[in-house]
Every structure is written in structure tokens, then in C-alpha cells.
């Protein structure tokens, strides 16, 4: 009873932690964006129509945190397809209406732009495209009327033979971004290249907040930083008026059978691969750390192959195994 009263007080201080998932919906026959090839003339207007149906599903499931597809406006930055470059202007009314709907439903929206956003690259053409991609994502959010909690998550990018030089180039490229993009930009550390300490090094030179990824911390943690310390440190990098987010996932442990040229092959799991569903006990431990330390409000993006189904299952498991936390995560 004492713990339940303490958690009630914690919820009152931090607000409810929103659990979210990225892009694809599995619990309903819904599309996240117009993924047709350019020959079929895909368009942002189609993606927004899909999104409005998707938001209704999120509302019914009481899911208030969602990562938009990075290709919401298909081919909008493609240098060889200028016919797609004006989609944001062409959809001004639909974008505003979609943003209104998200706000009315209390859904926080974020985006993780495509893999080719490589601000650490020594190739100016590649970094120019990365800047263009981030500016377009910012324009989408601005056109939807979304506030600063709608962040753009990036990785440092490739090492290109010299990790320290890659960090320096990333810092230099951040300085070249428009102010509106910089206030949305947040940095996720990696599982194989740039560790949490590298992200912290960059934060101290740019002010870009850090997105803690719990699985990445387990896979690449050369200093042995604890989860508690990493969580506290990451949350402290966010400005007071911006709500932090973290990523939570579990490693895949199941054996899979893949078919190549008609032959079955056994595929062993790798520790950095996401599982279909999530370990509820590890998540409960994380929530209890946040409670015990009285940490500031934050949201959790769940990265699992089962997407929304993994979120709903985790939420019911928290209610089953840690009922005192049920009110904290909805």
C-alpha cells in the first residue's frame, strides 16, 4: 500500500508515461504512408489520409505516442524527381487538419528520418541531402502545427575510418542547420559505432539532446555506464520545456528459418536485433528506477517487431506483474 501511494504521488509529479511504437500497425488493416514506387505517382495527400484513419485506431487503443514514417512525403527530396518536390505546399490544408487531429487526440508524433541522413559523412553531397531531408521533416511538422516535443531522431552516421573525425563533422553539420531544425533534432547512440559517451561528447558541443536506447547501451557500452546513470544523464540533456523520450527494446532470442534458393538455413539471433515482443520485467525495472530517483517526465518508444501488438501486450503485462505501475503507463 505504501508503494502504491508513493507511485500515485510520482504519477502526479511526472504525468503519465506514454508508450509508443514506430510506423507500421499490425493490429488493424491500416497503412502508415503511401509506399508506392514513383512510377505510380505516390503523394503526401494519400499518406495523410492513411494517417487520419491510423490516428482513430490509436485513439481507440489509448495509444498516445507514435513515430511517423520517414517517407511520409514520398520522394520529396529526390534530386532527380522534381515533380514530387512541392508536396508540402500542395497539402497545406490537409497537413494542418492532420496536426489538429493529433492534438485533439493527445498523440505525440515524432520521426526517425531515413538511413541516408548521414551528417558525419565526409561527402558534401551526402551531407547536403541529409540537411535537406531534415529541413523537409521540420517543414512537415511546422505545417502540422506540432510543438517542440515532435522531435527528429538521428544517429551520428558512419565512422568513415575515423570515429573522432566523424563526431567532429557531425558537430560542424549541426551548426549549419536552420534554427528551427536544431530545436527538433535529437541524437540516438548506436549499438556498434557511436556509443552513449560519443553522443554525450556531441551534446556538450551542440546542445542536441540524447535519446537513450536501452538495448544499444547493452550492446555498446565501453565505459560500463549503468542503466540508471545513463537514463539520468540522457534526461538531463533535454531542455526544460521539451519532454524527453527514450527507446526500449528486447534482444531477439529465437531461432529463425530462412529460405534461400529453395534451401532452408538456420538463422541465429543477434543481440542487437529487436524481438517480436518485449520483456515486461526489464521494462518494469526501468520504470521503478525512474520512480525511485524521482526523474522528470519522459515517454518510451517501444521498438519491437510486433509493433502495436507488442505495446498492448506489454501494457497488460505491467498491469499483471506490477499493478502499482498501471496508472503510470496508461
183-215 pLDDT, tens per residue?
999 999 999 999 999 999 999 999 999 999 999
Confidence class for position 90, pLDDT limits 50, 70, 90: very high
Which residue range is the domain that position 33 belongs to? 2-329
**pLDDT for the residue 151:** 98
Q: Which CATH number do you get for residue 121?
A: 3.20.20.150
Say if residue 180's pLDDT is above 80: yes
153: region left, alpha or beta (phi > 0 left; psi from -120 to 50 alpha): beta
Q: What is the pTM of this model?
A: 0.92
Separation CA 112–CA 293 (nearest Å): 29
Compare 203 and 271 and report the one with higher pLDDT.
203
Confidence class for position 16, pLDDT limits 50, 70, 90: confident
- Select from 26, 133, 44 the least CA-distant residue to 89: 44
The count of domains in the chain is 1
User: In the chain, pLDDT over 70 holds for what percent of residues?
Assistant: 95
Amino acid at each position: 500500500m505504501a508503494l502504491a501511494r508513493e507511485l500515485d504521488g510520482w504519477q502526479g509529479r511526472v504525468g503519465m508515461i506514454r508508450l509508443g511504437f514506430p510506423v507500421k500497425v499490425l493490429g488493424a488493416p491500416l497503412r502508415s504512408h503511401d509506399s508506392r514506387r514513383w512510377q505510380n505517382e505516390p503523394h503526401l495527400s494519400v499518406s495523410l489520409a492513411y494517417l487520419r484513419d491510423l490516428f482513430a485506431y490509436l485513439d481507440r487503443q489509448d495509444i498516445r505516442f507514435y513515430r511517423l514514417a520517414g517517407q511520409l512525403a514520398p520522394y520529396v527530396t529526390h534530386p532527380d524527381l522534381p515533380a514530387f518536390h512541392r508536396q508540402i505546399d500542395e497539402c497545406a490544408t490537409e497537413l494542418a487538419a492532420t496536426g489538429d487531429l493529433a492534438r485533439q487526440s493527445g498523440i505525440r508524433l515524432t520521426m526517425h528520418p531515413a538511413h541516408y541522413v548521414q551528417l558525419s559523412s565526409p561527402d558534401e553531397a551526402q551531407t547536403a541531402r541529409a540537411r535537406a531531408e531534415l529541413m523537409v521533416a521540420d517543414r512537415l511538422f511546422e505545417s502540422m502545427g506540432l510543438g517542440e516535443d515532435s522531435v527528429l531522431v538521428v544517429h551520428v552516421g558512419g565512422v568513415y575510418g575515423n570515429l573522432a573525425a566523424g563526431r567532429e563533422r557531425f558537430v560542424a553539420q549541426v551548426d549549419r542547420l536552420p534554427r528551427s531544425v536544431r530545436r527538433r533534432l535529437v541524437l540516438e547512440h548506436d549499438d556498434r559505432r557511436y556509443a552513449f559517451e560519443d553522443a554525450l561528447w556531441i551534446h556538450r558541443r551542440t546542445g542536441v539532446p540524447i535519446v537513450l536506447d536501452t538495448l544499444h547501451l547493452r550492446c555498446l557500452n565501453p565505459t560500463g555506464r549503468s542503466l540508471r546513470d545513463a537514463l539520468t544523464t540522457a534526461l538531463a540533456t533535454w531542455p526544460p520545456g521539451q519532454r524527453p523520450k527514450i527507446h526500449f527494446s528486447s534482444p531477439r532470442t529465437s531461432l529463425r528459418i530462412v529460405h534461400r534458393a529453395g534451401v532452408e538455413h538456420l538463422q541465429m539471433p543477434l543481440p542487437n536485433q529487436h524481438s517480436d515482443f518485449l520483456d515486461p520485467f526489464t521494462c518494469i525495472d526501468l520504470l521503478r528506477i525512474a520512480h525511485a530517483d524521482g526523474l522528470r517526465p519522459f515517454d518510451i518508444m517501444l521498438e519491437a517487431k510486433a509493433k502495436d501488438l507488442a505495446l498492448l501486450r506489454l501494457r497488460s503485462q505491467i498491469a499483471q506483474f506490477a499493478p502499482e505501475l498501471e496508472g503510470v503507463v496508461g
